[in-house]
Structure 1
């Protein structure tokens, strides 16, 4: 956990807070150590950005979850468009 916190530029307590807020749930090693994926570290980094801008942690986590859901919905929409037309969909998505 210490190395992950160092990579993101936060404290271990911040990472634990993200776990409490259910933004990230790290895997556990056989020794019980938290293991974070690159994706989870990107989410933690985004949370840090929002918190540094003054957003409360719980709100930052909710924003990130909604951003992730939007990105997934846009990806699914693009896939459906491609399957209907047989060609790539244009990259049109709202500014976030």
Structure 2
């Protein structure tokens, strides 16, 4: 069951809201839909699906995809680029948690 509808302004500010179709996401990133599908196959990003089964991407996922494209354009293999991004993301989260714990002390 879907949660209660949100205020549209909240959705616009939500980095995890799946607002972009595959075509629009590819256009924004200057890449192809096939590149986005390859990121899904590599398990870097897993887009949500619309009720019709179409992939939908969030701003957060687009940032990850943009970083992947940057690394691939520099000659990094796709699988290695995805692993680098996952590790960068984990490091950012660990640093955020660490800073939060320090503020509590």
Q: Give me the TM-score of the superposition, normalised by structure 2.
A: 0.78
Per the alignment, residue 62 of structure 2 pairs with 41
Alpha-carbon offset, residue 9 of structure 1: 0.9
Q: Deviations over 1:12-71 (max 9, x none)?
A: 110000000000000000111100000000100000000000000000000000000000
Per the alignment, residue 58 of structure 1 pairs with 79
Per the alignment, residue 91 of structure 1 pairs with none
Q: Which runs of 4+ in 1 moved over 6 A?
A: none
User: Which of 42, 46, 50 is the matching residue for 1:21?
Assistant: 42
Where in structure 2 are the equivalents of 1:74-89 lying within 5 Å?
A: 74-84=95-105
Any gaps of 5 or more consecutive residues in structure 2? 1-21
For these two proteins, the number of residue pairs brought into alignment is: 84
Match of 1:35, SS? strand
- The structure whose RCO (Cα within 8 Å, separation 6+) is larger is 2
Q: Give me the TM-score of the superposition, normalised by structure 1.
A: 0.86
RMSD in angstroms over aligned alpha carbons?
0.5
Alpha-carbon offset, residue 3 of structure 1: 1.4
Alpha-carbon offset, residue 82 of structure 1: 0.7
**Which structure would you say has the larger Rg?**
1
